[in-house]
């Protein structure tokens, strides 16, 4: 009897799902290689790529290997890379002075990459955590109980100018200090770098998902823990409306692109930001998001290829125009 049962339906949604070609025709969201930004880690003196134990398939690269990687990414159509240095601990100080050294690691890396692949967009991080002994994103107050906002911003402005001099396309302040976007824009313009853009980490949350990244750049080792709290300057994960306010402040101060970080657990924030402004919106699929997908796949609990694609599709569907992801190269090969 059941096999003869027929519904009298005018509309059947499954008609549009019957074949791959039909599904492609009506897909509302498309993930493109051009949407991806590859974060890369650079280190001095490594004879071969050094895999980060908490981030399978991600390596700290010497400058020659970094250049090769950038050439490969460019050939795949990935438009941009974001560079993060892992410094020798001997170069770290409480004030992070190495960040202003014109021959510091990341600036040498920028010059090498731009010389070898001038068409590739290069983004550099503006924050002091790779350079400080305490692992915070800025210099500490006299009482050593918080980050000194204004003093830190003064250093970040100098840091951004140094990066512009080295040839970067975008500086990306990730420190979450108040007023830093406007101050950096003014410093860049006064130094004649009006063409260097700012990608602001506008809604960067005090997230538990950053642990593997802190291993990668050595800020966890410097601080003595990957669990370092940055709650006095990064956003409270409980807050939603505040993210839109932070974004609008950064846009008024001169940000060219705004960012939400992390991405996967903050899809509602990405959508709010997308609805609130017309500027390009980036989202950072952070190290912990990458690591947990890999860990579950290693245990056989998830399909790695499908999950990494779905995770990025969700970020794009939420409203991100650009996605920083450690999956960039693998996704680009698949697309």
**Catalytic residue list:** 204, 261
Tokens matching residue 163:
């990066």
Q: What one-character DSSP code corresponds to residue 287?
A: H
Kindly report whether the peptide bond that precedes residue 272 is cis, defined as omega within 30 degrees of 0.
no
Could you give the 3-state DSSP secondary structure of residue 277? coil
Decide: 256 and 225 in contact? Cβ < 8 Å: no
Side-chain-facing half-sphere of 206: CA atoms under 13 Å? 15
Q: What one-character DSSP code corresponds to residue 205?
A: B
Could you give the 3-state DSSP secondary structure of residue 30? coil
Instruction: Detail the DSSP E strand segments found in the chain.
Output: 36-43, 50-51, 59-61, 80-86, 121-126, 170-173, 197-204, 257-261, 281-284, 322-324
Decide: 160 and 197 in contact? Cβ < 8 Å: no
Separation between Cα atoms, residue 331 and residue 293, nearest integer Å: 14
Nearest to 96 by CA among 159, 52, 49, 16: 159
Q: What's the chain's length in residues? A: 335
295 CB contacts (<8 Å, ≥6 apart)?
none
* φ and ψ at residue 259, rounded to 5 degrees: -135, 145
Stretch (H or E) spanning 243: helix 241-253
Task: Count each helix (H run) and each strand (E run) in the chain, helices first.
Answer: 12, 10
Separation between Cα atoms, residue 97 and residue 155, nearest integer Å: 9
Tokens matching residue 193:
């770098």
């Amino acid at each position: 009897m059941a096999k003869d049962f027929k519904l009298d339906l005018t509309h059947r949604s499954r008609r549009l799902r019957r074949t791959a070609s039909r599904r492609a025709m009506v897909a509302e969201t498309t993930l493109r290689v051009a949407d991806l930004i590859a974060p890369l880690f650079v280190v001095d003196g490594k004879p071969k790529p050094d895999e980060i134990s908490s981030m399978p398939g991600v390596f700290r690269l010497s400058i020659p290997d970094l250049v090769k990687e950038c050439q490969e990414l460019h050939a795949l159509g990935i438009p941009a890379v974001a560079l993060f240095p892992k410094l020798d601990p001997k170069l770290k100080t409480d004030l992070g002075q190495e960040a202003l050294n014109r021959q510091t690691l990341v600036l040498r890396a920028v010059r090498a990459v731009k010389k070898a692949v001038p068409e590739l967009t290069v983004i550099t991080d503006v924050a002091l955590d790779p350079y400080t002994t305490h692992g915070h994103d800025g210099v500490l107050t006299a009482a050593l109980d918080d980050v000194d906002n204004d003093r830190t911003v003064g250093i970040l402005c100098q840091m951004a100018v140094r990066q512009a001099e080295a040839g970067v396309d975008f500086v990306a302040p990730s420190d979450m200090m108040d007023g830093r976007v406007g101050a950096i824009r003014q410093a860049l313009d006064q130094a004649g770098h009006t063409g260097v853009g700012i990608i602001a980490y506008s809604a960067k949350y005090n997230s538990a998902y950053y642990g593997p990244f802190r291993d990668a750049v050595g800020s966890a080792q410097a601080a003595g823990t990957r669990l370092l709290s940055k709650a006095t300057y990064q956003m409270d994960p409980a807050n939603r409306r505040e993210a839109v306010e932070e974004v609008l402040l950064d846009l008024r101060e001169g940000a060219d692109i705004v960012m939400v970080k992390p991405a996967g657990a903050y899809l509602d924030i990405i959508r709010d930001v997308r609805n609130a402004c017309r500027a390009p919106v980036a989202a950072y699929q952070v190290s912990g998001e990458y690591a947990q997908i890999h860990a579950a796949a290693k245990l056989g609990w998830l399909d790695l290829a499908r999950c990494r694609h779905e995770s990025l599709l969700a970020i794009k569907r939420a409203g991100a125009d650009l996605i920083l992801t450690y999956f960039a190269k693998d996704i680009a090969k698949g697309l």
